[in-house]
Amino acid sequence: MMIIRPIRANDYPALYQMAVESGHGFTSLPVNEELLMRKISRSEASFTKATNTPGDEGYLFVLEDTSTGQVCGTSALEAAVGLDDAFYHYHLGKVVHSSRSLGVYKTVDILTLCNDYTGVSELCTLFLRPQFRQKHNGRLLSKMRFLFLAEFAARFSDKIIAELRGVSDAQGNSPFWQWLQEHFFSVDFPTADYLTGIGQKEFIAELMPKYPIYVSLLSPVAQQVIGKVHEQTRPALALLESEGFSCRGYVDIFDAGPTVEARTSHIRTIRESQRLQVELGTVGAAAEPYLISNTSLTGFRASWAMLAPTANSNHITLPTALANALDLRAGDWVRISKI
C-alpha cells in the first residue's frame, strides 16, 4: 500500500537519491547533504510546532510503499515564502509607447523583477521516482497536500502558489538564462539554480537588472520559452489547472517557467472534501477512487483507496487494512475527496 507520511531523519538516504535523480532545474532538491538534512530537521520541527498563523514552517512528506518500506517520492508545503530570504519573480506586464502627433501607438511586453508573492504559501518539492509513476501515485503525492491544507488551514495563507519548471535541455541549459548570462552574469544556469537552492541568493540582488527588461530585446529562443513548462512538467501543470490554479503573469527569474496560483477556498479538492467518521467493515460494490487522510498533524497519514461514501451521512466504511495503515480506529475522523 502507498502511504504519505511526514519525512523522518532516517529517510535522508532516499531524499538524497531523489535529489540526484531530479536533475537540473529542480531548485528545491539540490544535491547538498547539509541542506537536505536541514530540510528534514526543519520539517520535523514544523510538524511539532504549535501555531495558528503561517510562518517559517516547511512540511516535507514522503510516499512510502508499506510492503517494502521503500520511499518512492516526496512533496512539500511552505507555510509562507520570502519571510527570511527574498522570494523573486519576474512579472510579465506591458507598457505603451504612444505619440498622438506622430500617430504612433505601440504596446510592449516587459519583465519586472518583484517580490509580490512574499508571505503566501507554496506547493513545492514534488518528485516521484520514475519507476513508481503509475496508477494514482502521482495524483496522491501532489493532491494529498490539499487535504493537509484543508485540515490545517490556519497554518497557511489564503493564497497558494506553485512554481513550475521551465524549459531547459538535457544538460540543464535554459534559453532564457543564456540571454541573462550573456548580458548580466558570468554564471551558467545549473550553477545559478544550485546556488539559489542552497540559499545563496545574494547574487540575484547584486547582478539582476534593476529596471524592467523589454521582452523584444531578448533572443527569439528566450522569448519563446517565457511562461512555458518543461516537457516533464506538463502533467503537473494540467493537474493544477484542473484544481483551479492559473498563471497571473509571474515567471521564474532563471528559466521563465510559470508560477500558478489559487485561493485556498477555490481549490477543487479542498472545496469538495468531506470530513467523516470511521466505521470498520467491507466497502460497498459501488466504490470509487478517493484520496483519504487522517486528521492528525504529527501523525499525518494519507493514501488513496476505493471507497463508497453514503450521501448525507457523516460516516465512512473503511477496510481494516486501510485503517491500520492510516493509524485509524473506529470513531476517528478522516478527510476524503475524489481523486
Could you give the residue numbers annotated as active site?
230
DSSP assigned state of 130: G
Query: 328: exposed, middle or buried (C-beta count within 10 Å: 0-12, 13-18, 19+)?
Result: buried
Q: Bridge partners of 306? A: 289
Please state, in angstroms and rounded to a whole number, the distance separating the CA atoms of residues 86 and 212.
18
Q: Are 119 and 81 in contact (CB under 8 A)?
A: yes
Phi, psi of 328 (to 5 degrees): -115, 150
Q: Give the length of the chain.
A: 339
| Orientation angle between helical segments 33-48 and 12-22, nearest 10 degrees | 120
Please state, in angstroms and rounded to a whole number, the distance separating the CA atoms of residues 125 and 28.
6
